[in-house]
Structures are given as C-alpha cells and as structure tokens.
Structure 1
C-alpha cells in the first residue's frame, strides 16, 4: 500500500461516519474529555514522543480539555501496548506506536501480552518516515559508505555492532539485513528508544545506530555523527545528500515505516470516528506538519479501514524477512 499525504489527509471516511450518527449520539461524542491521554512506548525526546506532543497541542480543547503524553517505556514498546489494551474504550486513551510493534513482533515472540488484531482498534496513520544508518567516533572518518562500514566491521569484530530503538523493531532488522548483505555479523544492542542509542553513539560506546532518520539528523550539528545510508526507495528530503542503500548496491533493504494511533478493542464506531476526525484535523495543521518535518516525519492520516489494511499487509510482508534473519526474542 502506498500512501501520500495529500491522499490521506483528504480521506473522508470518518467524516461520513460521524454524519451518519444520530443527533443524540453525535452530541454526546462531541463533549471534550476532562483529560485525554496519548500513550507512547518510547522515551521523551525521540520521534514517537515528539509526534505525540505536537498532536496533543492540537487536540485541546475540543477533544480533551487537557491532553497529556505518557511515556510508558520498556520491552520495545510492549508495555505501552499492554497498558492501552486494558483501558476503557471510550476514546480518552489512545496508543501511539510504530507499526512494527504490531506487524513484526507477532513473528518473533512466541507469546505476546497482546494480540494486535484483537486488543486494539485502528484509528489513523499519523506519519511516515525512513530510517538512517549512522556511525560515530568509534568508526574511522575514512568510512563514508555502508559497504565501507561492512568492510571495516569484518576486520574489527570487537567493534562490529549497532544500536536500535528496540529488539525486533524495523531498525533492528535493517541493521541485521545490512550485516547479512555484507557477510558480517553485526552485534545488536537494543535501547529504550533511539535517543539513548544516539547518546552511546556520540560517546563512542557503540559503532553505529539504525533508527528513524529524524532521530539521527538532529545530532549532525555535533560533527560526530555521519549518516552512511537511508532505507527509503528514494533519497530522504531530510538528508538529500545521503544515498539510499539501493544506490550503494545493497538490495532488499528498502523499508519505510509508519506511526499510528489506535484505541483499545471494542471502541464503538462513534468513538473511533470521533478520534479519527480529531486526529486528522490535528495532523493537517501547518504547524504540526512543519514541526514533524524537523524530525524527519512526513505527516499524513488515513481512515481506520486503511490503517487496518496496512497492518494486515505489513504483517504478511515481514514474515519471510524475519525467517531469513532467524531472530526470535527468545533466541
């Protein structure tokens, strides 16, 4: 499925659903919550947290008189998902998550504390982004491309490592696929978000980081970080001078990802439609679009059905990739 911001921001499914509600239900659905909460499974300062905070400001006061962001970190985002699935499905609590937690994790965990297809209700896609692969002070300045990094890693086994925001995340698998492509095993270090990994990269404690492009570009001013490649099908507008993996002769490592908003299971059509309409309005605001762009995020939205279809297709896409890498959470 290919989304464009223009196409998705113009999706009218939620509006049509709201229009079909009875007058009484519609009036009830428009009463703002005293407090609405956006739950993210990643640390403050990263792209997931930034998205939540940008959107939260635009959900006030119509959706919630107060809208707060809660960072429930740990287990690669699972804690946040598990928390939200147990909340009332009245629309006051929404999960914001990268879709990999819902589409990749079922392939790598024998038992998850949630079932993405059962415990959550899709609301909307929020943004799309590519990943970057960056190196820091631990890697010689002469290394300027991904193939050169892989060649260096072959002769520096002790330093052949990379960090990612979570084990089993898309950035984790991108790093693993790069290693397989170069015939070298890159040791993986999982962090609670990309920002902690970037701090270790800056400190020379990890050789490379695979993460959302926006989490990396904000550190370029330090002069200690170099982005060697990006994961998109074309160069990122946020790092136009950095070649894609494909341009560097690396095949089958072209991946982008989405952040999405979801509600607990059994949310009524009225609740879903209200949340979708509020999110679409927030994500269409120029200050939100421009603010997310500074973090490498391309704002967009979708209908609940479009998000459900995306999750289904991505879940199927990742099954053979996970099998190729051979990673399991228990391994």
Structure 2
C-alpha cells in the first residue's frame, strides 16, 4: 500500500505542476483568476459610463478575465479617484477618467490624492469634444439667438452639470465670461441624470460631451447650437463649430484615458495596455466611438507614456486658467 501511495502521490504532483504551467502560460494570467473592477467616476448612463461599457466586455475577452464596471459617483469624480488611488496596485482595479477627473479636479478640489502622482497611466482611449445644447422648446435656434435669449433673461436660465468643477461647469464659466451672460448651474451626480432633465425640459442648456448629447440631438429631443472644436464632427456634420456660430476660440477637448493605481507593476500595465490597444483597433469599436463623436487616438498616442505626457501638458495649460477664473467646488 505504501508503494502504491508513493506512486499516486507522484502522479498528483506531476498533474498539479502541469496545471500550474498551463495557468501561467494563459494570456492575461495576472487577471485570469480574479475579476477586474473598472471604476467609472460618474453615474450610469453618462458618456464616460457608455465608453466604459463599450470597452469592458472586449477587454475581458482579451485578458481572459471578468471585467466588472462599477459606478462610483460624487464630488465630480473625486470619490472614485480616492478609491482607485488607495486600491491595491495589482491590476484588479482600474479607472476610466477624463480631462475633468484627471486634470481639472486637481486645480479645484482639495484632494486626498494627486491626480498625476497617485496613478499609473495605462492608455489614452478617446478624444472628444463638447456640444452646446439646449432643451427642445428653447426660444432659440442658433448660438447667437441662444446668447441673445440668455442676455434677455439674466440669472433665470439653468445649465446642467455633472457637478461642481466638472468640464460642463468649467465650460459654462468660460462661456459666461466670453459672452457676458449670466445663468444658474444645476449640479447632478453625472451627465446622464442631467441629460434626462434636459430632454424633459426641466433645465435649459448644457455644455455636454458629444458622446452623451449626440443620440438625443439626432432623435430631435434636444437642440445643438455648436461644437467646441475648430472642426465639425463627422458624426454630426450639420452642427456648426463655435467659430462658425459666432463664438470663436471656445475649444474644449474632452479626452478619456484609463489609469491604474500608483506602483502597479510595469508588466501588468503593459498587459492592460495591449488589451486596450487591441480593442480600440476593432472596426466595431471604431464605429461605435465615431457614432458618439469620439475619435480614437493614433496608436502612438495610446501608450502609457503618451497618456502621461498629454495629461501633464493639459495640467500645465488648464490649472492656471482655472485658478485665474477662481473656479471652486460648490
């Protein structure tokens, strides 16, 4: 019996060793045994959430892992930022963010983390823009008419935002300064809930990401007055640029990226980046992003180093502007 047990034990050891080799050889093995949580810093249904959900299943397939999208809304994305900054740097927690969460928040809020130093850039995923939109029943059909209406009703109009200090808020502040208009900001827990109220006519205007507004513009549920870029959107060629609409230079790029917690090992970041780059190259993803007014960056711009450099440049550009305008959290 003893001899039989020794022989069997030997077979068990060999089988376990083989299984271990297979597991270690599996693509994305660091993520294959544990799910990845993709933190979205805003409410479900908003533009950032939409992009995250387009990518999540495809990233999961590339990594042979489960990717769970979790919405952690509040404080213009800074609640989610703090959670990810404190998360274990093992590749199981990542976040999607943008110009607001990973640039503006650092200039506006007193954060328990650093928007640059406490994260590892993984990949730039999209370059977007904003639309200046209004409720369907608004008494204006062009940007000039909208500005005239705001001036005729000082302090009465309402503009929805995803919270104090978000891109929608900052854009609205600059719009006020550039046009000499005055209106009230109405903060929501995300762009999705704000858009629901705009469609319902409960608020008047929004400075909103094109990915959130375009479906409603195309359905006729809201009006679009201008796009905040020097060129028209391919997915909305009838919407004029701010230059064409009479408000030149009001350019805002609403780019998105993926980050991991600081000190996430380079090999994990590299594996995550490779999966994301592969997904962004898929024709179906390109088409879906285009429909939302999002341009996918060139491959050279999708690297962790490129995202780090771009985020730094955006910080150096926008922080002085935000602070000079005295934009603070409400």
Fold-level similarity (TM above 0.5): yes
Q: Residue 205 of structure 2 corresponds to which residue in structure 1?
A: 208
- Which of 196, 199, 203 is the aligned partner of 1:199? 196
Inter-partner Cα distance in structure 1 for 2:329 and 2:113 = 15
The C-alpha deviation readout for 1:45-77, integer Å capped at 9, x for no partner, is 222112111211112244142111111111111
Query: Aligned-pair distance for 1:138?
Result: 5.2
Q: Please, what TM-score do these two structures have when normalized by structure 1?
A: 0.86
Structure with bigger gyration radius: 2
1:20 matched residue in structure 2:
none
Residue 170 (1) aligns with residue 167 (2): yes
In the alignment, is the contact (CA less than 8 A) between 1:36 and 1:63 conserved in 2?
Answer: no
Task: Say if 2:111 is the partner of 1:112.
Answer: yes
Per the alignment, do residues 181 and 99 of structure 1 end up closer, same or farther by CA in structure 2, a change over 3 Å counting? closer
| C-alpha distance in 2 between matches for 1:152 and 1:326 | 26
Alignment match, 2:47: 47
Residue 65 of structure 1 aligns to a residue whose secondary structure is coil
Cα distance in structure 2, aligned partners of 1:38 and 1:130: 23
**TM-score under structure 2 normalisation?**
0.86
Gaps in structure 2 of 5+ consecutive residues: 1-23
* Distance (whole Å) between structure 1 residues aligned to residue 171 and residue 165 of structure 2: 10
Secondary structure in structure 2 of the residue aligned to 1:118: coil
144 and 105 in structure 1: CA distance in 2 versus 1, 3 angstrom threshold: same
Q: Number of paired residues?
A: 304
How far residue 28 of structure 1 moved from its aligned partner, in angstroms, is 8.3
SS of the equivalent of 1:39 reads strand
Task: Identify if the C-alpha distance between structure 1 residues 242 and 61 changes in structure 2 by more than 3 Å, giving closer, same or farther.
Answer: closer
Q: Deviations over 1:111-149 (max 9, x none)?
A: 112211221110110111110011114521xx1222221
Deviation of 1:292 after TM superposition, in Å, equals: 2.1
Q: Is the 8 A contact 2:126 2:295 kept in 1?
A: yes
Report the 3-state secondary structure (helix = DSSP H, G, I; strand = E; otherwise coil) of the residue aligned with 1:288.
Answer: helix
Instruction: Find the residue that maps to 1:115 and give its secondary structure.
Output: coil
Give the aligned partner of residue 126 of structure 1. 125
Tell me the distance in 2 between the aligned counterparts of 1:60 and 1:29: 11
Which secondary structure does the structure 2 equivalent of 1:91 belong to? Answer: coil
Residue 295 of structure 1 and its aligned partner are, at CA, apart by 2.0
Partner of 2:258: 261
Give the 3-state SS of the residue equivalent to 1:60 in structure 2: helix
Say if 2:310 is the partner of 1:310: yes
Contact 1:138 1:206 (C-alpha < 8 Å) held by counterparts = no
Distance in 2, Cα, partners of 1:62 & 1:303: 17
Q: Which has the higher contact order (CA 8 A, sep 6+)?
A: 1
Higher helix share: 2
Which residue of 1 is the match for residue 10 of structure 2?
none
Alignment-derived partner of residue 328 in structure 1 = 328
Correspondence 1:297 to 2:297: no
